[in-house]
Structure 1
Amino acid sequence: MTDISSPPEERDAIEHLKEDDEEDEEALPHSEFLDIFEEGLALIVQDPLLCDLPIQVTLEEVNSQVALEYGQAMTVRVCKADGEVMPIVVVQQATVLHLKKAIRRYYELKQQREGGIKHISWRYVWRTFHLVYNGEKLDDDSKKLKDYGIRNRDEVTFVKKLRKK
């Protein structure tokens, strides 16, 4: 109850606390909130621009897809030795290091969704394999992909490094 003789600021504060209590009673349980969120996300993913994204899409994947549509990013197709092709999205001005980090994010998300290998030593991967485009090794992490001639939808392959004797 508010006392009429109390100052207006105090009355406003008490009324605000009562409103907060009423809002808490109307708050959704976490599981219901997740259900509503996933329904909304499913509607977003049905959009023609975003239809090729997975169901458990991340914000980064949505942003990458939008950047692709606006021409701010490109897709580099990375081919593994087993024939698998990974479509990796990087910004237009990306360096080799950006590509390597994007490959890592792509593969970790894929493993998380499929329940595969829990840990990959990326240090070992980059020590053991080269990324190669048109026979040229992408060995300078600070060099831009465009400097190697890589454009949208070009293929880069993993090639095992030869040991020096």
Structure 2
Amino acid sequence: MEEEEEEEVEEEEAHAEVLEFWQEGLARLVRDPLLCDLPAQVTPEEISSQVALEYGQAMTVRVRRADAPEAPLPVVVVQNASVLDLKRALRRFVQLRQEREGGIQHISWRYLWRTYCLTFGGEKLTDDRKKLREYGIRNRDEVTFVKKIRK
């Protein structure tokens, strides 16, 4: 029994060492000029997105709430992303930001997409399967988050 407990303690210590090593490595990566815009508690997903941006494999779509003066959210998606990909990336962006800053812990995305929609150039992005480029959306373009008008 004691032997099993010692093994568990050793595994926990080994895990803690690997985790610390991983975090130190990420911290060094984030100091790189290419990745300096990333937060200190960066995820591997965010690093991949930043590298994809640098190589032209991804683009930043800025998402702004129509009724809010704050700066738009810079959401990274692959070049051939669909509207659904943008919605998923926006959800992930908001979740990561909430984890880091605290605040509202749960957002009903189902309700949100029933009540709001994204628009670009006055056109609603209603077809989730349609590619962003089909709507004319390019790197650094801004889409707006607006409340749907009931008929």
Give CA deviations for 1:82-128 in whole Å, capped at 9, x if unaligned. Answer: 23310000001000000000000000111111112111100011011
- Please say if 1:59 is aligned against 2:72: no
Give the SS at the match of 1:35.
helix
Q: Kindly state the Cα deviation for residue 37 of structure 1 after the two structures are TM-superposed.
A: 2.5
CA distance in 1, matches of 2:13, 2:106: 36
Q: Percent of counterpart pairs with the same letter?
A: 66
CA distance in 1, matches of 2:31, 2:109: 34
- Taking structure 1 as the reference length, the TM-score comes to 0.79
Give the SS at the match of 1:55.
coil
Q: Kindly state the Cα deviation for residue 77 of structure 1 after the two structures are TM-superposed.
A: 0.3
- Please say if 1:90 is aligned against 2:77: yes
1:75 to 42, 57, 60: 60
- Taking structure 2 as the reference length, the TM-score comes to 0.86
- Please say if 1:43 is aligned against 2:12: no
Aligned to 1:7: none
Aligned to 2:108: 121
Structure number, greater radius of gyration: 1
Uncovered stretches (5+) of structure 1, i.e. residues with no partner: 1-23
Uncovered stretches (5+) of structure 2, i.e. residues with no partner: 1-8
Q: 1:60 corresponds to which letter in structure 2?
A: E
Give the SS at the match of 2:96.
helix
CA distance in 1, matches of 2:95, 2:24: 25
